[in-house]
Structure formats: C-alpha cells, structure tokens
Amino acid sequence: MRYVNGSVILKGEKLLIYIYLHLTAVTFLLSCRLTVSMMSVINKSVFPQIAFRSEVLEYLHNVYTNKEIVSELGKEEAERVFDSLLSCLSHPPSLTCLRASTHTHSLQDIQQRLAQHVAQQQVSGSISDRVSTPILPHPQLPDVLLLPVRGPRDVSILNAEVIVGAQCGSAVLRGAHVFAPGLLSAPKFMKAGDPVSVFSDVEGRCTQGAKEFQGKKIFLGNGVCVMKRSDIFCPEGPVRGVAVRMVDALYQSPSFDGVLPGEVFLQNLPSVVVGHSRCDALGSNRIVMSDGVVVALDKIKSKVEKISENARTLRLHCIQAHCYNSIQAVSSELNPSGSQADAPPFPEESFDRILLDAPCSGLGQRPNMAINYSLKEVCSYQPLQRKLLRTAVQLLKKGGVLVYSTCTVTLAENEEQVAWALKTFPCLTLEPQEPHLGSQGMPGSELSCDQRRLLQRFRPELSWRGATDSHASEDLLFKANTDTIGFFIAKFSKR
Ligand SMILES: C[S@+](CC[C@H](N)C(=O)[O-])C[C@H]1O[C@@H](n2cnc3c(N)ncnc32)[C@H](O)[C@@H]1O
C-alpha cells in the first residue's frame, strides 16, 4: 500500500509540484488461521524510547529545552515534553489515515466498499481481533478516512522467530506484512505455513540470511510464513512478495494492499493537510481537477517512475514527473533552448504555486526505534533546503504561493528556515493556513509569537500519554489530529 508523502512543485494555471511517493511494504492477503505452539511470554508492548547517537540526543535536547521554551513552560515541563517526544517517536500513530480520490468517487461510496474489505479481512482471519474496525470520515478534511489502530495488544511470543530490518519493522507496525527483501534472519528449516514471531533488528546488526540473531530486537507480533527459507535467501538474487503474513500484530491495522487501487492510498494526516493548505485558492484540494499542469521533480529516477505510476493509477493526468536536480530547475533564458515548455529548467516566475516538501532529516517519522545519523548528517539538510527554497522563490510568480514542509522536528530545518527565508527574500510574507489542525511553530528561533502562530507544527509529544489501546470515540478525532508523525508546514505568498 502506498504512503504518499505529497511533495510537489505546483504549476497550476501553471502548477509546479514536487511529489514524493513512498511505498511501504505491502500485502497480499490469504486466509489462514494461526495455530501455534506458544511460549508463555506475554508481551504488552511499550517500546523503549527512540535511540539516537549521544551527540544527536544532546542536540535535540538543547532544541527542546531552549531558553525561550524554558521561560514559557519551566524547565521541568520542557524536560517532560522532550521525554514524551522520545517515547512517542518509537510508537506508531494511533490512527491510520487514508486519502480518498474524491475527484473520481464519492467519499461515502469509498467508505462503504472499504468497510466490506475490512470485514472480509476479519472473516478470513487476517485480522485476529473480533472487534469491528470503524472507518470514520474526518470532519475537516473531506477526502480523508480514518481507521483506529488497535494496540498495543497482548500477543504471546512463539518458539520460532524471524528478524526483519528496522524499516520493514516500522511498516509492520503500521499494518504491513513482511516482504521478502525486508527479512534478515529466518530459522534453518522454515517452510510455508510455519507460525513465527516477528522481531525488528533496531540497531541494524543482523546479517542478511542469518539463521538466528542474539542482538537487540523488538517484538512486533506473529505471522505465518508464505515462503520457505531457501526461496527467500536464494543465490539468484532478491525475491519479491510477501514472506510472512502478519496475523496477530502487536499493533493491528487492516491491510490495504491491492484494495481499491485508484480510489484510496495511505497518507500521513499532516501530508494531507499540506495538500489542502497549498490549494485553497483553487477551492479545497481541487488542484488535480484544474486545467493546469502539475510538474513533479525528484532527483531519484525510481521515485519519479513511482510518481508517474501512481498518477496513472489515480487517473491524475495533469501530473508530469521529471527526474531533475531541483536546485538547477531555474533557467536564466526566457525560453530555454532545448527544453520543452513543461520540462525543466523553467524560466523565472513561471509557477503560480510551489510546494517544496523538502528533503529533511526525517526525525518526525513514526514509528522509529533508532536513528543512527551523526550530528553532521542531521545538520546537512539546512543548507540543501536553503538552496531549494532559493530556487522555489525564483520560480514563483509574483502573487504566487509557496508551501514549505518537512517531516522533522528540529528548529534548524523548520522555524529557523522560515526566519531565514523572510530575511533573505523580502518579497515573501507568511500566510495563514487552512486547515490549521496542528500546533503553532515552536519557540527558539528569531520568529515572533505572531509569526509562529501562522506556522503549523504537528507535535505528537504534546498530547502523548503513553501507549494505550483505548479508542473512546470522542478521543478519536483529537488523536487523529495530534497523534501524528512530527511535521512542519509554512505557507508564504510572494509580492
Ligand atoms: C520529501 S522527501 C523526504 C521526506 C519525506 N517526507 C519522507 O518521508 O521521506 C524528499 C525528496 O527530495 C528528493 N530530493 C533531494 N534533493 C533533491 C534535489 N536536489 N532535487 C530534486 N529532488 C531532491 C529526494 O529524492 C526525496 O525523494
């Protein structure tokens, strides 16, 4: 199933948009019940806090306990909030957010058909919970459906275990099955049909093809093998497809692989908000319906191919994706020779809207149990983002809108970038965002309180009360808007 992390250059009435679509490991559902011999360990999962290198931990601690925050909250509360950040980052958000293609189908239609798929998964035993999963529309986002994630659940650990890489483990915690490329270790005689416990190798120590692993691992739930060991670790090269079908996950969410393709896709809620706040002048998220062109740039070819494939699936014919270094996307010539009208490089001031979903340190992504970046790596994004911002401002028409977003939690890549942009480009003004579901910008940069109020920061740490499996319906909307990945959005207009 797809996670679409919308990042698009807009070219509306000439829209230039960067889109980056992320496919998580996904699933093919077969019906099979788990009959297992169990060890007696009951695992009520509350994961350890996310692990960082000490230099990065200290850096983040300084960000979250900066002078301005401490004078606003007091030292003790600032420390508590930082502690909550480290805890919530290792846990998945408590709702799954689905973006519906409401340009081709009504939300109600999609909701009904989705409910049938979820019910089928329950009947087939792919979801072990007997409790039915509600599918709720979001009152402020007309193209969003929400499904509560059940967890942490009590699941017993089995005798046989497989180890998956950290990235695969994160996908499993959000409802995916285990795909063969994500599998690192499997028992010597593992065959299809075997029940196994699935663990994540959070520190990246397990070697591919190992028969066992004694390092630090985190339990994710139980599944049934779909492939035998020799099919997975075969000398002919990497195999594709589901290797272990999860049937009793610690965090349970229906799988949407192959479900209503072209009608729904997985997207983190803040990314949906970016889409809406960028397009309000066109009326809601009707950007895809406009007569204009949407130009998507990414420097990685496989991402561009995925963008084009997803655009075809979603019948978004106005999207043109190009593999291009966006820093070099501005041409000094009015009609650059050798380039087509809608291909980069583009003349200055040729776009009505630009969305810069910037490459970032990604520290707001959830769940994430360990991040091994050095401080140098974390700090390397600020200069790159400034180059991209400079390009974006040059490409934007006067009167145009620029939206800047990241999925990270530092000040350097968020509020400090906004302060820098306002100072460097006097033509930019901060604009209010609609909808505004997140918190305001964090204190600690040169921005004033009024400027911070115009920013939107999703801060799951502010409402984190530990991992609970309670889904009281009155809490659900609050959780949908707050228990998200860490995310930042700024919206500018150009004079
Ligand atoms: C928005 S994504 C990263 C964060 C994303 N939200 C995520 O979840 O991974 C950033 C994208 O920018 C692309 N990128 C980085 N530098 C670039 C450049 N100079 N030109 C074009 N694309 C670039 C990367 O390939 C990546 O797909």
Taking only the tens place, the pLDDT of each residue in 181-212 is 999 999 999 999 999 999 999 899 999 999 99
Is 139 a residue whose pLDDT tops 80? yes
Of 97, 407, 427, 449, the catalytic one is 407
> Which residue's CA is minimally distant from atom 16 of ligand 1?
359
What is the helix, strand, coil percentage profile of the chain, to 5?
Answer: 30, 25, 45
What is the β-pairing status of strands 136-137 and 144-148?
antiparallel
What gap in Å lies between CA 290 and CA 124, rounded to an integer?
A: 42
Is residue 387 in contact with ligand 1, taking CB distance under 6 Å?
no
> Which residue's CA is minimally distant from atom 4 of ligand 1?
359
pLDDT band at 132, cuts 50/70/90?
confident
What pLDDT does residue 259 have? 87
Is 233 a residue whose pLDDT tops 80? yes
Q: Can you list the positions of beta strands (E) in 226-347?
A: 242-249, 264-266, 294-298, 319-323, 330-331, 346-347
**Rounded mean pLDDT of the chain?**
86
Is residue 300 in contact with ligand 1, taking CB distance under 6 Å?
yes
450 belongs to an annotated ligand binding site: no
Residue 316 to residues 89, 283, 287, 311, 380, Cα–Cα distance (Å): 33, 17, 10, 5, 34
Is 20 a residue whose pLDDT tops 70? no
What ipTM did this prediction achieve? 0.93
User: Which strands form 242-249's sheet, in the order they lie side by side?
Assistant: 178-179, 242-249, 218-225, 195-201, 161-165, 183-185
Distance 239 CA to ligand 1 centre (A): 27
Q: What does pTM read for this prediction?
A: 0.89
Taking only the tens place, the pLDDT of each residue in 79-128 is 999 999 999 999 999 999 999 999 889 999 999 999 998 888 777 765 65
Distance 326 CA to ligand 1 centre (A): 10
Q: Which residue type is seen at 12?
A: G
Taking only the tens place, the pLDDT of each residue in 52-75 is 999 999 999 999 999 999 999 999
Distance 408 CA to ligand 1 centre (A): 13
Is 5 a residue whose pLDDT tops 50? no
Q: Determine whether 97 is an active site residue.
A: no
Is residue 306 in contact with ligand 1, taking CB distance under 6 Å?
no
